[in-house]
Structure 1
Amino acid sequence: MSGYLTNEDLANIDSKNKLFEHAKTHGIDTDKLQFELDYEQQLEALQVELIKLQRWVQLQQLRVVIIFEGRDAAGKGGTIKRFAEHLNPRSMRIVALPKPTDQEQGQWYFRRYIKQLPNVGEIVFFDRSWYNRAVVEPVMGFCTDDQYQQFMRQVSEFEHMLFEDGLLLIKLWFSIDKQEQSRRFQRRMKNPLKQWKLSPVDQKGQEYWHKYTYYKEHMFAQTHTSFSPWTIIKSNSKKLSSWRAYDMSFLSLSTKANQ
C-alpha cells in the first residue's frame, strides 16, 4: 500500500483494467484516478475544438481578444496554457505585460494595451489586462483616485469603440473563495518550481480580500455591458474551470460573430 506506482509497475500496465488493479493494490484513490483519465481525454477533445476555432478565426479574418482576470492564484495562467498548448503560434499571442515604465506612466492608460491588440486572423490572450486599474491598482495604491475614476469613465467607451471596429472581446473573471486562495498560496511557497509566481502583491490578497471584493463588484456593475459582458468562471477546481472557460468563450464568440 505505497500510494504510488513505480516505473516497473507502469511498464507492466497495458490496459485500463490493469491500471485500476494496480491502483487498488497500491492504495491509490481510483475515483481520483478516473477523474484524471476523464480530464485528460476531455482536455484533448477541448484542444481539438480550439484548433478548429482558431482556423475559423483565420478563415473569417476575425480579430479576437480573450481577457483573463481574477484574484491572484485563481488559475488564469494555467487555463491560458491549456488553451494555447496546441494552437498555431503564428496566429496566437499571450500578453502578460509587466508594470508600466516611467514613459508609459505618462501616456494615456490604454495605449500600452492598444499596441497588443490582434491583427486579422489572430487570437490574443491577455493574462490580466487594462482591468488592472479597476481592481489591483486601487486596492494596492498603485493609482490615484482620479486615475481610477477616469478609467472607470472611459473603459466602456473604449470597449465600445473596439466593438464598433469589429474586434471580438471576451472577458472572463476567474472566481475562487478565500480558503482556496490561501491553500494555493501555501502550495506555491512550498514548491520551488512555483515560488516565482508568489509576489508581494499576491501575498496581500488574503489581507485585502474584502477590499478586492468591493472593487470587483463595482467593476462588474460599471463595465458589464450588452456589447462587452463579463463571464464568471468558478475556478476552485482548476481543471473544471478550463472546460467552463472554453465553453463560455466559444459560446460568446459564436454569438458575437453572428450579431
Structure 2
Amino acid sequence: MNKLSSVSLNHSNEMVAKVPEITLYFWIIKLLTTGMGEVTSDYLFEKLNPFISAPLSVLIFAAAMVLQFKARRFVPGIYWLVVVMVSIFGTMAADVVRVGLGVPYMVSTIFFIVALAAVLITWYSKEKTLSVHSIFTRRREVFYWLTVLTTFALGTAAGDMTATSMHLGYFSSGVLFAILLAVPALGYWLLGFKEIFAFWFAYILTRPVGASFSDWLSVAHSGGGLGLGKGAVSLVLTILIVILVVFRGGTAAQSVKLETDAA
C-alpha cells in the first residue's frame, strides 16, 4: 500500500465526533449548565403558568435535539443548547414526579438510579462500550443523550432529597456532593479508576453540585439561601455559559476512530 493510500485510509477511518473534548472547560461549562437549568426551570414555573412553561420547554428541547441530530459535526452552540435544555427538562421531570405526582424525593431518586442503570446496561449490551470517545453512530448518540437526560433528572432529585428531605440545606448539600465529586477525579488520577467509570461518575455528580449551589444563591433567606433571586442567578449563569462557549469554542471536537473502545 503506498503512502497516499495509507493516508486516505486513515482519513476514512476517522471522523469528527459530535461531543466535545473532555477538558477543564468542559466541566466548568457543565457545572454552569446544571445550575442554570435548575434555577431557570424554577423561575419559569414561578413566573409562567406550568401549562405554558412546561410545553414551551419541551418544544425548545425537542427543537434543539433535532438540530443536534441533524448536525454532521460538533457545533458548540447546538451541543450546549441541548445540554441546557436537557438541564431544564430534567429538572422539570424530577419536579413533576415530586410535586405533580407527590412521590417522595427518596423514591424518585431511587427510580432515576434504576432508570439510569437500565439505560447504561442496555447501551453497553448493544455497543460493548460506554465511551464518549466513540459517539459516531446514531444509536450511540441516542444512548448518550438518554444517559445525559437521566443523569440530570437523577441529580435534581438527589440534590433536593439531601437539601430538603434530609434537611441539610442547599449549601451543605452542595458541599457534600462537591466532596463526592472529588472521588472519581482522585480515583482516576491516583487509584487507577477506569476512564469511562470515572467520567460518568463525575458527570452524574456535577448535577447536584451545580443545582445545590445555584439554589443556595437564588432562594430567599427564609429558605436557607442568599436571596439573590432565580431570575438574576439564571441570567448571570447564562451569560457565563455563552462567554465560555463563544470564546472557548465549547471545547474542541474530538477525532475518533471507527473502532469499539473497551470499557
TM value normalised by structure 1: 0.29
Greater fraction helix: 2
Q: Which has the higher contact order (CA 8 A, sep 6+)?
A: 2
Select the structure of larger CA radius of gyration: 1
